[in-house]
Structure 1
Amino acid sequence: MSVEAFLSAAHVPRGRVAMRRGLALASAGLVALLAGCDLAPKYEEPKYIYPNGWAGHGVFVDGHPAEEAPRGDWWKTFHDPALDTLEAQMLQNNPDLQSAAEAFTQARDIARETEARLYPQVGTAAGMSDNKTSLTRLWRVPASSAPSYESSVFYSGAATWEPDFWDSIRNQAHMQKNAAQATAAQYALTRLSLEAELASDYIGLRGLDAQLAVYADSIRYYQTAVQITRLRQAGAIAAGIDVSRAENQLYSTMAAQSQAVAERQVLEHAIAVLTNKVPAGFHVASILQQKIPMAEATFSAGLPSTLLERRPDVAMAERRLAASSRAIGVARAAFYPNVTFSASGGFMNNGFDLANMANSMWTVAVQAVEPLFTGGLRRAALQRAWSQYRQTVDVYRGTVLAAFQDVEDGLSQTAQFREQQRRQQEAVEAALRTQKMTMALYTGGLTNYLDVVVAQQAALVARIAEVRAQTTQLQATVRLARALGGGWSRDELPSIRSIEPFKPLQYEGLHHPTPAGGIDPHNSPADNDLGGGYGTMLHGQGLTGGSIER
C-alpha cells in the first residue's frame, strides 16, 4: 500500500498568484529545513589497544612515516641499475597495473553517476507526424465533412528533481566515493605487489646466476680431479673405483647445473611477462659471480600508527568501512517519504505555427510516496546494513592484524637469515679447507678417494647453501619492504573532492579523466611492443646479450 499525493495545475487565475508565491516560499523553507537531515551514523575510524612493547606505546596515535621506512622507489636501495630499469618498464607497461588504473576510473564514474541524481534531470523532445485516414473506413458517414488528413508538430521540455531531504542520494554518492578511494588503494596494493614480485624474481634470477658460477667453478675442479684419478690409475697407483667416483661427482654436478639453468629461464620468463614482453624475445644477461652483486638493504618498522598509514590494504579496508557506514544512512532514509518535483511544457499545433500562447501546453506536479506496510522489507534492509557494517569492522581488524603479522615475520626473517648467511659463510670456508686438504692427502697417497668425494660434496653443498642463504636474505628484505607499504602513504589517496572525473558542465576531454591520487590511466607507445624492443636503452645494464656458461 502507499499514500500518493499528486498535484497538477494549468492556467492558474491571476487572483491566486499571491497564494502561489506563498506556497513557493513555504516549500523553499521546507527544503532548506530538511536538506541537512543526514541519517548516517557519525563515522570514526576504529582505534585499537595493543600490547606494550613495540616502540613502547600502548594505543595507536596519528603519526607520519618514519624516516627509516621504505621511501618511494624502495628497490633502488639495492643499487642495481638493471633492476631499476626493469621496475620502470613494469610500472609503465604492465597490463595488470593499467587494468587496475582503469578500474579506478570506472569507480569514479560510478560515483559521478550516483551524484548526478542530486541535480534536476532536464530533457527536450520534438516531433512531427503526417496522418491520413481512409475515406471508406467503417462507421464513416458518406457525406461526412470530418477531415481525413491532419498533421501535428510539437516541441517540449521536461524537468524532474528529487530533493534529497533525507540525504539518501548524498549518502549513496559519498558511499561510492569511498568505494572509489578503496579502489585507489587497491591500485596501490597491486602496484606494490608487482614491484615486490619483480624484485623477488630478479633476486632469485641473480641467485641462480651465482649458483651457476659455483657449479662452473666446481665442475672445473672436478674435471681436474678426474684427470688425476685417471693418471693414477694408468700408473697403477689407484684403482678404477676412484675414477668412477670422480666421474660420478662431475656428472652429477653437471646435472644440477642444467636444473639451475632451467629454473633461471623460468624466472626470466616471469620477468618478461611482468615487463610486458613475450618471453621468447626477452633475455637478462647472466652475471657469473659466486655472490649476488646487490647491496643489502635494511628497513625499520617504526611506530604502529605509521604502519597503518603506509599499508594500502589497511587503507582499502578502512575506506570500505567508511562506505558501509553511509549505507546505513541510505537504509534509514527508506523509512521517510520520497518526494519528486516535475514540470513539462511546450507547444503543439497541426502546422508549423507554434509560437503563440494558444498552442502552449504545460504541467507542474509534486509527488510524495510513503510506503505504509512492506512486510519488514525496510527493517530487514536496515538490519542488513548494520550487519554489513559490523562485518566490515571485523574485516578491517583482521587486515590490521595481518599487517602486523607481515611486519613481524619480515623482521624475524631478515634478522635470522642475516645470521644464517654469516654462519653459512663460515661453513663454506671450513668445507673448502677440508676439500683442499683431502685432495692433497689423496695425491700423496695418504688417504682414499672416498674421503675426497665426501669433502667435495660437502664443499659444493655448503657453497650452494651460502648462495641460497643470500638469495633468501635479499628476498626477505623485499617482503619486509612490501609489508611496510613500500614507501606508500595514506596521504596519496585521492580526496573526496578529487574523485569527480569531470565537472558537471564539462563536455570535452572525456576520453581520459582528470588524474587523481597519482593514478593516471594512459596508453603507452610501448604497450603493443611485446618483442623487447628496448635493446638500445638496456644495453650495458645486463638486460641484453650475454650467455650462460655451462
Structure 2
Amino acid sequence: MRSPLSLLPLLALAACTAGPDYQGPASAGAAPQRFARAGEAAIPAAPAVAPWWTALGDPLLDELERRALADSPSIAIAQAKLTQARSALRLDRANGLPNANAQLTYAHARLPGIDLGSSGDGEEEGGGDGSSSEALNFYNLGFDASWEIDLFGGHRRTMEASRASLEAAQASIADAQVSLAAEVAGAYVHLRDRQQRLALAEQSAARQREVLDLTRQRQTHGTVSALEVERQRSLAEQADAALLPLRAERDAYLNALAVLTGQAPGAVDAMLAGPGAIPLPPATVAVGDPAALLQRRPDIRAAERQLAAATARIGVAEAARFPRISFMGLIGIGGTEPDAIFDPDNLAAIAMPRLSWNLLDFGRNAARIGQAEGARDEAEARYRQAVLGALRDAEDALARYGASRQNVASATRASHSADRTLSLTRQRFGAGTASRIDLLEAERQAMGAQQTVAQATAALTADYIAIQKALGLGWN
C-alpha cells in the first residue's frame, strides 16, 4: 500500500490552476469627478435607474414603454442568449462530473480455426478444405464510467469563463432595455413633433391657397400683374409639397412604435391618431458623476465580464499543455446464453487509470494559447473602448441638451414676436389699413414660428432622452 506521503506531490499538482487569475480590467483612465459639459440644468444628484420616462408625464408614452419592455423582439433575443449561457454553464458543470453509460450487447461471431471447446451454443461448421470454424453468441448487460481529474484547473477555468459569460448575457439584457426604452421614447417624441408640425403646415398651406385666390381676384381687377399670381401659385405649391415628407415621417414613426412594441405596423395607429403635446423634460436633470456612470452602464458591465471570460480561457488553453489523468471503469454481466445476463456469477469488472500527455504537438497548443491571449487583449481593448465611449456619449448628450435649451428659448421669443405682429395686423385689418392678404401672411408667419418652436422642443426632449441612455438608465 502506498504511503500517504507519496500522494502529496499529486495533491499539490491538483491544487494548481493554469493560466492567469483575473484581476479586473486595466484602468481606462481615471474617471473625472464631474461632467465637463454639464450645464445649469444638470445637477449632481444620483439619477433613478428606472423608469426615467415617467418624468416626462405622458401616460401614452408610459404604456408604450410597458408594452415594448414586455413584448419587443430585441428583449426576447437578449433573453434567449441568456438562456443559452445558462445552459452552457450547466453543461460545463456536468462535464466535470463522471460520465456513465448503460449498454446491452449481443454479438454473433464465426471464428475460423479457433477451437472454443464444447460450448453449449457453439456450432461447428466444416469448410470445403477440411478446416473448421466455431460460431459464438455473446450476451452482455453492463455499465461503463469515465472521469478525468481536473489536475491543472482546466475545467475550473472553463467554469469561470462560463460564469462570466452568463453574467455578460445578464448585463446584455439590461443594455437592451436601456436602448429600447430610449428608442421608444425618441420615436414617440418625433411622432408628436411631426403631428404638430403637420397640423400647422396644413393650416399654413390653406392660408397660402387663400392668398392665391385673393391675388387672382385682384388680377381680374387689374391691381396686380400675372407675375404676382405666378409667384403666389409657386408658394402654394411649395406649401403643399412641404406636407408630403411630414406625412411620410409621421407614418414611419407610427410603424416604428408598433414594431418596437412587438406588433405589426398599423397596430398603434388608433391609439396615437390624435395629435398630442410634445412631452417636456423636467426643469433639472440628475446626472450623478462619471464614476457612477461607469458602474451603472450595463454595456460596460458586459464588456468587463467578457474580459473576465477571455482571461479564464487562457487557463483552459494552458492546462492542455500538461498531463491528463482519467479513470475508466467497466462492469457487466453476460455469457453465451441469454439468461446469463441475470446470473451474478457472470459479473466482470475492469478499472483502468490512464495518463496521457501530448508531448509533441508541433506548437499546436502554443498557438491556441496565443489565440486565447489575443482574444483577452481584444476584450480588454473593447472594455476600454466601452468606457471612453460611455463618457463621450454623456458629454455629447449634455452639450447638445444645453444648446437645445437655448434654441427653444430663442424659438419661443421669435414665436412671441410673430404673435405680436399678427395681433397688430389684425388691428390694422379691422381698421381697414391692412388687406386680407396682409393678415393671411401674418398668420402664416406665426404658424411657421410655432412649427419652429415644436421642432426645437422635440429636439430638446430628444436630447434629454439621449442623456438618460448615455447614463445607462432604463433597466431594472
Sort the Cα spacing of 1:211 and 1:35 in 2 relative to 1 into closer, same or farther, 3 A: same
SS at match of 1:38: coil
Q: CA deviation at 1:47?
A: 3.3
Pick aligned residue for 1:108 from 68, 82, 86: 86
**Structure 1 CA distance for aligned equivalents of residues 381 and 171 of structure 2:** 19
1:83 is matched with 61
Counterpart CA distance in 2 for 1:95 and 1:358 is 62
Partner of residue 323, structure 1: 309
- Further displaced range: 164-173 or 458-467: 458-467
List gaps (5 residues or longer) in structure 1.
1-18, 57-65, 493-550
Q: Report what 1:172 is aligned to.
A: 158
Match of 1:99 in 2: 77
CA distance in 1, matches of 2:343, 2:334: 10
- Please tell me whether residue 39 in structure 1 is matched to residue 18 in structure 2: yes
Take 1:323 and 1:394, find their aligned partners in 2: how far apart are those partners? Answer: 14
Alpha-carbon deviation of 1:51?
7.0
Equivalent residue of 1:285, what SS? coil
Code of the aligned partner of 2:18 = L
Deviations 1:181-219 (A, max 9, x none): 212222222222122111111110001111023224434
8 Å Cα contact 1:298-1:477 kept in structure 2: no
TM-score after normalising by structure 2: 0.84
Partner of 2:118: none
2:348 partner amino acid: M
In 1, Cα distance between the equivalents of 2:224 and 2:35?
66
Q: Identify which of 199, 204, 227 aligns with 2:185.
A: 199
Distance 2:81 2:229 in 1: 65
Structure 1 residue 119, shift from structure 2 partner: 0.5
Structure 1 match to 2:96:
118
Aligned residue for 1:166, secondary structure, equals coil
- Bigger shift: 476-485 or 249-258? 249-258
Uncovered stretches (5+) of structure 2, i.e. residues with no partner: 37-43, 111-122
Separation of aligned partners in 2, 1:317 and 1:206: 36
Structure 2 CA distance for partners of 1:464 and 1:99, relative to 1, 3 Å: same
- What's the offset of the Cα at 1:356? 4.5
| Shift of residue 339, structure 1, vs aligned partner | 0.9
Matched residue SS, 2:21: coil
CA contact (8 A) 1:70 1:299 kept: no
SS at match of 2:137: strand
Q: Deviations over 1:99-121 (max 9, x none)?
A: 22111111221222222221011
- 3-state SS in 2 of match to 1:353: helix
1:412 counterpart (382, 399, 413): 399
SS for the counterpart of 1:279 is coil
**Deviations 1:119-162 (CA, angstroms, capped at 9, x unpaired):** 01111111335678794645556xx7x765x5332111111110
Mapped contact 2:56–2:279 kept (Cα < 8 A): no
**What is the CA–CA distance in structure 2 between the aligned matches of 1:298 and 1:140, rounded to whole Å?**
106
Question: For the Cα contact (< 8 Å) 2:205–2:240, is it kept in 1?
Answer: yes
Cα-to-partner distance string for 1:266-298 (whole Å, 9 max, x where unaligned): 111111111222214441433446x52555475
Contact 1:97 1:190 in 2 (8 A): yes
Report if the CA contact (8 A) 1:441-1:447 is conserved: yes
| Correspondence for 2:249 among 254, 263, 281 | 263
The one-letter amino acid of 2:30's match is Y
Local SS of the residue matching 2:285: coil
Q: How many Å separate the matches in 1 of 2:6 and 2:351?
A: 14
1:274 aligns with 2:260: yes
Kindly report which structure 2 residues correspond to 1:478-489, keeping only aligned pairs within 5 A, or say none.
Answer: 478-488=465-475
Give, in whole Å, the separation in 1 of the partners of 2:84 and 2:450.
Answer: 52
1:54 aligns with 2:34: yes
Matching residue of 1:511: none
Q: Deviations over 1:13-37 (max 9, x none)?
A: xxxxxx3xx47x6787666433321
Aligned to 1:535: none
C-alpha distance in structure 2 between counterparts of 1:178 and 1:465, whole Å: 50
1:477 equivalent in structure 2: 464
Residue in structure 2 matched with residue 345 of structure 1 by the alignment: 331
CA shift in 2, pair 1:104/1:52, >3 Å: closer
**CA separation of 1:332 and 1:288: change in aligned 2, threshold 3 A:** closer
- 1:201-280 aligned at under 5 Å gives the runs 201-222=187-208, 225-226=211-212, 229=215, 244-280=230-266
* CA-atom RMSD in angstroms: 3.3
Instruction: Give the drift of 1:302.
Output: 1.3
Question: Residues 288, 123 of structure 1: CA spacing in aligned structure 2 closer, same or farther, 3 A cutoff?
Answer: closer
1:312 to 281, 298, 313: 298
In structure 1, C-alpha distance between the alignment counterparts of 2:458 and 2:194, rounded to whole Å:
9
1:408-487 to structure 2, matched below 5 A, reads 408-435=395-422, 437=424, 458-487=445-474
Secondary structure of 1:372 counterpart: coil
> How far is 1:264 from its partner?
0.3
**Other structure's SS at 1:292 match:** coil
Please say if residues 429 and 435 of structure 2, whose CA atoms lie closer than 8 Å, have aligned partners that are also in contact. Answer: yes
For residues 345 and 200 of structure 2, the distance between their equivalents in structure 1, rounded to whole angstroms, comes to 99
Q: Is the 8 A contact 1:249 1:453 kept in 2?
A: no
C-alpha spacing 1:27/1:404, structure 2 compared with 1 (3 Å): same
- Report the Cα offset of residue 259 of structure 1: 2.6
Match of 1:383 in 2: 370
CA-CA distance at 1:311 after TM superposition:
0.9
Distance in 2 separating the partners of 1:130 and 1:43: 56
1:362 maps to what in 2? 349
- In structure 2, C-alpha distance between the alignment counterparts of 1:195 and 1:221, rounded to whole Å: 39
Is the CA contact (8 Å cut-off) linking 1:339 and 1:366 kept in structure 2?
yes
Question: TM-score scaled by structure 1?
Answer: 0.73
User: Which piece of structure 1 moves more, 348-357 or 292-301?
Assistant: 292-301
Partner amino acid, structure 2, of 1:94: S
| Contact 1:209–1:286 under 8 Å retained in 2 | no
